[in-house]
Structure 1
Amino acid sequence: MTTLDYATPAVALNSGASMPLLGFGTWQIEDSEVGEATRFALEAGYRHIDTATGYGNEAGIGKALAEAGLPRDDIFVTTKMPPDNVGRERQTLEESLSKLGLDQVDLWLVHWPPNKQATPEAWEEFVKAQQDGLARSIGVSNYSLDQIDELIKATGVAPAVNQIKWGPSLFDATIVDGLKDRGVVLEGYSPFRASNLEDPTLVSIAESHDATTAQVIVAWHVKHEFVVIPKSTHQERIVANAAGARIELSADEVSAIDGLSEVS
């Protein structure tokens, strides 16, 4: 096992928990392949694993976590409930916990707004699950600021996290500031898909740090305190992506990357 450990840098959640800014994404990794990929990630020092009921790979991840033999408190595990599972919230979480081999997840998200609606009744079940100790923190994914406000108004409980598609080309200060004002941490998925890895600005910054543009994108997320969950099944790339979390970008470099936004 490597001595590298990306438990830090981390961000504080409204639950009092600490969430590593670097996570390992597992979307579109088959259950048969995810065990090896997760092992690579843990060996590379990732201490945050992101999955979902809808990914169909929780069992493989659970096996990898068990085989790694790391203390439970050292690993931050996120899973998500499909929007179609409204009315079966507790059952869904219990099934996830069984597959993952855990008594508690660190973060449980509503994967998408059910029927494109905020659905406070589902959020109420998430709050209960947190109170019962099945999820240390609870949050949402792909929610708008208005939908988050609807949940807060209905329950008095703000999501700890909103996981959304994010990268330099999608940078939107309104979303950044809006989530921050509500005490909600921004977590970005598909960071490389939401970026032009051949953009001259990124290439120039990467060259100055003797890094890849993918590593620069990871560094940009971390500098902003956006959680980032790059995904790969290739060991070399898993290791390389993680190294981006240790690159220190200057304020000017961050501003230049912010400027790549295509959001009007």
Structure 2
Amino acid sequence: MATGRSYKLNAGISIPALGLGTWQSPDAEVYTAVLTALEVGYKHIDSAFCYGNEQPVGKAIADSPVAREDIFLTTKLWSTYHSRVAEALDLSLKNLGTDYVDLYLMHWPVPMNPAGNHPMFPTRADGSRDLVAEADWDFVKTWAEMQKLLGTGKVKAIGVCNFSIHNLEILLKAPTTTVVPAVNQCEMHPYLPQFKLFEYCAAKGIHMTAYSPLGSTSAPLQDEAVVQKVAEANGKSAAQVLISWGIQRGASVIPKSVTPSRIEANFQDFVVADADMAALDAISKTTTKRVVSPAWGVKIFHDE
């Protein structure tokens, strides 16, 4: 099923429904993971400057027999580069060894000090994150700079990550915003189904990509009784159930794995029965959990 499902973005291009996530994947492992995924049939690879592994991701793409134009490649603008968008993109393109990415995302709606005590995670004396004052720079200004990239041929679409309805409203209402984000990539799984955000984005023509679609080791979603029941009834794994649930809702999903057998198994999505979809939707009525919630020092997730 995965090879046959994709979604049309408002930028006019299509994003494959299933991709390989590469967060927290060490260099040697991510190289093999990307090669394996492309061999299995994946056409969607998700990366980010902040992950620190763009180079092996790009090398795997280059070493794969799959043509670059047949791969949907995403990378992300890191928070210390909000006022240096063009520079950041060029750094990522150099790392990836490609002259364009299909999708370029603002990783977080939080600009950090570009000249702080660390190039990626600058901190203040008290240990808190060294953020740029909103009066000096904000994500609306960042987006205005990202919009300029569309005329360079270096990106096919631009979008955001970790944007709440609150922040999307600010962005969309800004007079400098002339392009609606093609994608909002957010944490999304049955513990955090993001019903309101999903509905809002759909109404605005913004596609949602789900990261951490399987939960994580700190959120044992695959052991949930409902997930296990659906898996057993369909002869599928818990991961296949969760991936299929996300895709069937209309999201693209990017499960991360460096294990070849899991990468292959994750590519085997299926059609989930309506009753099972409803049961999976209902998990959040009794259990809710957000896995990724960095201590930014400012409110990010306004919708909870």
TM over 0.5: yes
The offset of 1:69, in angstroms, is: 2.6
Distance in 2 of aligned mates of 1:32 and 1:227: 26
Residue 181 (structure 2) pairs with residue 186 (structure 1): no
**Equivalent residue number for residue 198 of structure 1:** 223
Residue 91 (structure 2) pairs with residue 95 (structure 1): yes
Distance in 2 of aligned mates of 1:139 and 1:91: 17
1:239 to 237, 243, 264: 264
The offset of 1:6, in angstroms, is: 4.2
The offset of 1:241, in angstroms, is: 1.0
1:256–1:109 CA distance, 2 compared to 1 (3 A): same
**Which residue type is aligned with residue 180 of structure 1?**
A
**Which residue type is aligned with residue 241 of structure 2?**
V
1:7–1:100 CA distance, 2 compared to 1 (3 A): farther
Structure 1: which 5+ residue stretches go unaligned? Answer: none
The offset of 1:195, in angstroms, is: 5.8
**Equivalent residue number for residue 238 of structure 2:** 213
Identity of aligned residues (%): 38
CA contact 2:38–2:66 (8 Å) conserved in 1: no
SS in 1 for 2:210: strand
1:252 to 249, 252, 275: 275
Deviation readout 1:215-240 (Å, 9 max, x if unpaired): 10001011111111011111001111
Distance in 2 of aligned mates of 1:15 and 1:45: 24
**Which residue type is aligned with residue 173 of structure 2?**
K
1:71 to 50, 67, 73: 67
**Which residue type is aligned with residue 153 of structure 1?**
K
2:10 to 14, 26, 32: 14
Distance in 1 of aligned mates of 2:178 and 2:166: 15
Distance in 1 of aligned mates of 2:244 and 2:29: 27
Deviation readout 1:117-149 (Å, 9 max, x if unpaired): 761111011111012221101000011112112
Residue 142 (structure 2) pairs with residue 122 (structure 1): yes
**Which residue type is aligned with residue 140 of structure 2?**
P
**Which residue type is aligned with residue 224 of structure 2?**
D
2:183 to 134, 139, 161: 161
SS in 2 for 1:49: strand
Structure 2: which 5+ residue stretches go unaligned? Answer: 112-130, 289-303
Distance in 1 of aligned mates of 2:247 and 2:56: 28
**Equivalent residue number for residue 134 of structure 1:** 154
More helix by share: 1
Distance in 1 of aligned mates of 2:278 and 2:235: 19
**Which residue type is aligned with residue 36 of structure 1?**
T
The structure number with the bigger radius of gyration is 2
1:45 to 41, 44, 68: 41
CA contact 1:169–1:195 (8 Å) conserved in 2: no
Normalising by structure 1, report the TM-score.
Answer: 0.93
The offset of 1:43, in angstroms, is: 1.0
Deviation readout 1:182-224 (Å, 9 max, x if unpaired): 1111111111126621111111111111011111000101111
SS in 1 for 2:159: strand
SS in 2 for 1:15: coil
**Equivalent residue number for residue 62 of structure 1:** 58
Distance in 2 of aligned mates of 1:152 and 1:29: 34
Normalising by structure 2, report the TM-score.
Answer: 0.81
1:157–1:62 CA distance, 2 compared to 1 (3 A): same
Distance in 1 of aligned mates of 2:6 and 2:103: 14
Q: How many residues align?
A: 258
Distance in 2 of aligned mates of 1:231 and 1:131: 32
Distance in 2 of aligned mates of 1:7 and 1:128: 32
Distance in 2 of aligned mates of 1:172 and 1:50: 21
Residue 99 (structure 2) pairs with residue 106 (structure 1): no
Q: How well do the aligned residues superpose, as a CA RMSD in angstroms? A: 1.7
2:170 to 131, 147, 150: 150
